Amino acid sequence: MGIIRPVEQVKLFTAILFGNEGVLNTAREKLSSALGPVDMSSPVWTWSHSNYYEKEMGADLKRIFLFFERPVTPDLLADIKNMTNEIEGSFRRDQEQCKELKLPERPINIDPGYMTLAKVVLASTKNYAHRIYIGRGIYAEVALYYQDKTFQPLPHTYPDYTGHEYIALFNTARGLTRNGER
């Protein structure tokens, strides 16, 4: 029989797609208010890995990652994903007004995840073969795992997460996590 041990705390992050800096800044304030201070953020990168979001969000999207100082337990991921969905929803615009003003209906996408020394986990509202249901309408997947002194992608890992920039970012964040003993 295995011994049940306390659950390790994890480093929370959000991956944010956006087209407007003002929307990003307001969302960042809301996220910090709910999740605590940001202790690391990525550069703002141009996001051109797919046109999946273009209809709702427009073209010329950017990506930023925010890593939060306070550790959390992994069982909070479903609640955090629902909270980030609510923040996203607060920015949604009326579809007819958007067509008229030529504005995106969905100006921001906020996807939370967490990392440990061994893995990077992403939350999603969409089910698929490699995702596990974690409650409250949310699924989770391991996107990267740590081996040979770096994070490695899996066959199902989103293409942007397989790139050198993202892997280097998560390796850096792992250093913060390691120094913080998470």
**What burial letters (b/e) apply to 70-96, b meaning 16+ CB within 10 Å?**
ebbebebbbebbbbbbebbeebeeeee
Residue 98: its pLDDT value, please?
A: 52
Distances, alpha carbon 96 to alpha carbons 30, 106, 138, in Å: 27, 13, 29
pLDDT digits (tens, 9 = 90+) for 23-75: 999 999 999 999 999 999 999 999 988 888 888 888 899 999 999 999 999 99
What's residue 179's pLDDT?
A: 64
- 142 in Cβ contact with 154 (< 8 Å): yes
Residue 100: the pLDDT is: 61
Query: How many Å apart are CA 132 and CA 142, to the nearest integer?
Result: 9
Determine what percent of the chain falls in helix, strand and coil, rounding each to the nearest 5: 35, 30, 35
What lies within 8 Å, CB to CB, of 172 at 6+ separation is 40
Length of the chain, please? 182
Round to whole Å and give the CA distance between 64 and 117. 21
pLDDT of 90 > 80? The answer is: yes
Higher local confidence (pLDDT), 45 or 95: 45
Tokens of 96: 């007819």
SS3 assignment, position 149? coil
Provide the residue ranges of all domains of the chain, joining segments of one domain with +: 11-179
Q: Tell me the two tokens of residue 68.
A: 């939060």
Could you give the 3-state DSSP secondary structure of residue 14? strand
User: What average pLDDT does this structure show over 109-134?
Assistant: 97
Q: Can you give the pTM of this predicted structure?
A: 0.92
